Copies of this chain bind each other. A is one copy, B any other.
Amino acid sequence: MKKYEMSDEEKKFLAGYDLTKYDRPSVAADVVVFSVMKDDECEDARRLQEKKLKILLIRRGGFPYKGSWAMPGGFCRKGEDVIDSARRELCEETGIDDAYVKLVGVYGEPGRDPRGWVISSTYMALMNARACRLKAGDDAQDARWFTVELTDVSTEATEVSGTGEENVKNEVEASHKVQNGKKYRLVLKNADSDIKLTAVLRRTDMSSCGRSSDSYYIEECEGLAFDHARIITEAVLGLREDVRRDMELAFDLLPERFTLTELQNVYEQIWDMELTTPNFRRKIAEYVEETDAYQAGERYRPAKLFTRRKDARK
């Protein structure tokens, strides 16, 4: 940034100025790390294994939320922009320093961290799983990849109770739901260890304190630290939107060369829906270019490898 030139009067003012006399928060940079990879353990010979969308979580070795799982992150250092703190934390955990990194949100709700006033600036990162080398797992460091399932359960029937009165209440709640809001179930699973983390999120009613972009509050939560269930939910929804706007983001989740089937699978994982192959290929054609190479080691017809097209016309 261009240096700002000060008058002597201003220099004098600043010399006597002390920001630190006011209350200040601690600021953390946290990262929702996305990648796409196989569940390595079930390398069965039956069929081509689908790669799954996963996020990286770390088991907390100390208080607070000791034993719970949390996103990688840490406090910002003076002299470092916040996004660079996120990149530093990301690199420390994964060894990757050139991932795509983008802001997800700022989380500063009072009480979100029992240690005190901590504001989290949260980023999402997209990386190629093959390039990632997780930090060795010592005692304080248990980092694992979890599959992500985020499903809309807004319209699911409320559990029907015995009494008529409760039924009426459920109907009122149901109609409220239709008006006000989405409800999501988040399930994160690590296949190696059978660890399963779950949460239920509801979109906050926006009529009270002004409208704002979607934001969710935690109704139930199992095994996730702090408000990370909420943050992960918003990150996954944000990723879906971002990729819809810019298809090219998906390339950051894959190696340099890939088959079109692999690429299609990435979009299917992100959007949690099936795509029809011919339509997908027509759409993606402008973003990719052929190489001379073919995929090796598969059982049936080998697929051509593609790379990202640098000069994609937009």
Residues of A within 8 A of B (CB): 1-4, 6, 9-10, 13-14, 17, 19-20, 22-27, 62-66, 75-84, 87, 97-103, 105-106, 108-112, 114-119, 121, 209-213, 217-219, 221, 227, 241, 245, 252
Contacts and interface: CB of A to CB of B under 8 A. Distances in A.
Given A25-B24, A112-B1, A106 B83 contact: yes
A252 B228 CA distance: 31
A210 B245 contact: no
A106 to B, nearest CB: 5
B17 A101 contact: no
Contact of A81 (B2, B101, B109): B109
Given A76-B108, A82-B106, A106-B103, A4 B114 contact: yes
A211 B1 CA distance: 19
Contacts of A211: 98-101, 252
A63 B4 CA distance: 12
Nearest to A217: B1
B118 A19 contact: yes
A81 B108 contact: yes
A114 B14 contact: yes
A218 B101 contact: no
B106 A14 contact: no
Contacts of A245: 241, 245
A2 B210 contact: no
A63 B1 CA distance: 19
Contacts of A78: 23, 25, 110, 117
